[in-house]
């Protein structure tokens, strides 16, 4: 059942470090691995090799320094509207106040907030306040850049800080432990209940003489048609995981279905709307690579980001690959560190290569190794060890 993982490694032009690039595929792209039990398959861990494309020099973008609203502009604006020494003095004093306690004055006219003047924040960036829509409108042009930058920063803060815990579907519902990667090698995905049962629990059930599904007790499907009927029954009840699973089957033409990538994308879209994180990941792959849908990198990234923030590890790793291809090594590293610590070995490998290429430090690599090891330890159990020992 081992799925071969190939890694495309290619060296860029002499001056550039080698960047290993992997094309992550959803489960649907795996070669059929269904056993006679029609257990269905695991996750999207398989990587096929992909030619490396170093992005053209990425335009240097402003980095993460927080941009405070430009006080000097506030001042000059006020300067224009006031006359006379006292007023200027006044304004100057008010400017000092503005600078010292920026939250309490309108960013455009400098009016202080009070019982009568209610200041409202720019809802996008929450950096500046205005006394009213007129001031907000008047200030829009000079605020736009700082606003946009802050919005991007806020988005990044969420992207990197959320989703450090494995998604619910990654846990075996019987022993409640997260499943090792690649999930397909360490679990059986059940068509009857759409649960991923770890091999330890599956083996333990068999040893007790239980051959039905150890989670829902349904008898095992006799063949692909049986399994498909089970899935269809759940699809009819709008089970998001069943809809996602059916999409994967259409994508690869499994279970006797004719291969239909468009249909797969349709199903994933529906499943994603109903809350399947796996479907969000699959949509990311479909859009990023243009499989069954018009290629749209940005949309692919959006989907992966959404899934990664909900604990989808392969999405997190895919984001790392994307940033690496673009030459955004800092961002790539941040993503890989998260997925490495969630037990994804490929991410550790990437960080190792970055370290060897001099774009990550030894400390980063050590941190990734340690984090990964801890995650793996947490996924161990007596039953799992035994399943592994027996090659079950
Ligand atoms: Zn104002
Ligand atoms: Zn703003
Ligand atoms: Zn288990
Ligand atoms: Zn079941």
CA of 98 to the centre of ligand 2 (A): 17
Closest ligand relative to 150 C-alpha: 2
Mention every residue, 6+ apart, whose C-beta is less than 8 A from residue 38. Answer: 191, 220, 221, 222, 223, 224, 226, 227
pLDDT for 104 equals 82
Place of tokens 């068999």: 206
CA of 62 to the centre of ligand 1 (A): 28
CA of 76 to the centre of ligand 2 (A): 20
Closest ligand relative to 112 C-alpha: 1
pLDDT for 377 equals 97
Whole-angstrom distance, CA of residue 160 vs CA of residue 154:
10
For residue 21, what is the DSSP state? B
CA of 305 to the centre of ligand 2 (A): 23
Closest ligand relative to 220 C-alpha: 4
Q: Say if CB 184 and CB 197 are below 8 A apart.
A: no
CA of 139 to the centre of ligand 2 (A): 10
Classify residue 131 as exposed, middle or buried by CB count within 10 Å of its CB (0-12, 13-18, 19+). buried
- Identify residues whose C-beta is under 5 A from ligand 1, the ion: 106, 108-109, 111, 131, 135
Residue ranges with strand state E in the chain: 22-24, 47-49, 120-121, 129-130, 187-189, 196-198
CA of 141 to the centre of ligand 2 (A): 11
Closest ligand relative to 147 C-alpha: 2
CA of 150 to the centre of ligand 2 (A): 8
Closest ligand relative to 130 C-alpha: 1
CA of 147 to the centre of ligand 2 (A): 4
Please tell me the pTM assigned to this model: 0.74
Q: Say if CB 263 and CB 250 are below 8 A apart.
A: yes
CA of 268 to the centre of ligand 2 (A): 35
pLDDT in tens, the chain (392 residues): 333 333 322 223 333 334 544 333 333 222 222 222 223 333 333 333 332 222 222 222 222 222 222 223 333 333 333 333 223 223 333 222 333 344 589 999 999 988 888 999 999 999 999 999 999 999 999 999 999 999 999 999 999 999 999 999 999 999 999 999 999 999 999 999 999 999 999 999 999 999 999 999 999 999 999 999 999 999 999 999 999 999 999 999 999 999 999 999 999 999 999 999 999 999 999 999 999 999 999 999 999 999 999 999 999 999 999 999 999 999 999 999 999 999 999 999 999 999 999 999 999 999 999 999 999 999 999 999 999 999 99
Place of tokens 């063949």: 223
Whole-angstrom distance, CA of residue 130 vs CA of residue 88:
21
């Amino acid at each position: 059942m081992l799925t071969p993982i190939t890694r495309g490694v290619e060296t860029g032009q002499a001056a550039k470090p080698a960047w290993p690039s992997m094309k992550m595929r959803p489960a649907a792209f795996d070669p059929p691995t269904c056993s006679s039990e029609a257990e269905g398959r695991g996750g999207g861990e398989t990587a096929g090799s992909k030619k490396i494309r170093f992005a053209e020099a990425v335009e240097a973008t402003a980095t993460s320094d927080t941009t405070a609203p430009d006080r000097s502009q506030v001042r000059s604006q006020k300067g224009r509207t006031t006359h006379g020494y006292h007023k200027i003095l006044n304004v100057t004093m008010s400017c000092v106040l503005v600078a010292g306690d920026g939250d309490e004055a309108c960013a455009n006219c400098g009016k202080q907030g009070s019982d009568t003047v209610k200041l409202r924040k720019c809802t996008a960036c929450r950096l500046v306040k205005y006394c009213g829509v007129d001031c907000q409108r008047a200030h829009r042009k000079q605020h736009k850049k700082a606003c946009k930058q802050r919005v991007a920063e806020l988005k990044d803060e969420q992207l990197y800080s959320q989703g450090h815990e494995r998604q619910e579907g990654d846990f075996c519902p019987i022993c409640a432990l997260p499943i090792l990667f690649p999930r397909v090698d360490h679990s059986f995905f059940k068509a009857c209940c759409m649960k991923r049962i770890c091999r330890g629990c599956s083996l333990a059930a068999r040893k007790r003489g239980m051959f039905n599904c150890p989670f829902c007790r349904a008898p095992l499907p006799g063949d692909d048609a049986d399994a498909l009927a089970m899935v269809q029954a759940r699809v009819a009840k709008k089970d998001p995981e069943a809809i996602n699973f059916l999409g994967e089957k259409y994508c690869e033409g499994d279970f006797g279905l004719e291969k239909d990538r468009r249909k797969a994308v349709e199903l994933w879209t529906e499943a994603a709307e109903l809350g399947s994180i796996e479907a969000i990941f699959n949509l990311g792959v479909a859009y990023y690579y243009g499989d069954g849908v018009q290629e749209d990198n940005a949309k692919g990234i959006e989907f992966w980001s959404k899934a990664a923030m909900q604990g989808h590890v392969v999405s997190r790793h895919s984001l790392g690959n994307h940033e690496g291809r673009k030459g955004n090594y800092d961002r790539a590293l941040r993503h890989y560190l998260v997925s490495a610590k969630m037990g994804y070995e490929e991410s550790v490998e990437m960080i190792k290569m970055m370290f060897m290429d001099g774009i990550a430090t030894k400390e980063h690599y050590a941190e990734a190794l340690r984090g990964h090891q801890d995650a793996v330890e947490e996924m161990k159990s007596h039953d799992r060890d035994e399943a592994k020992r027996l090659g079950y």
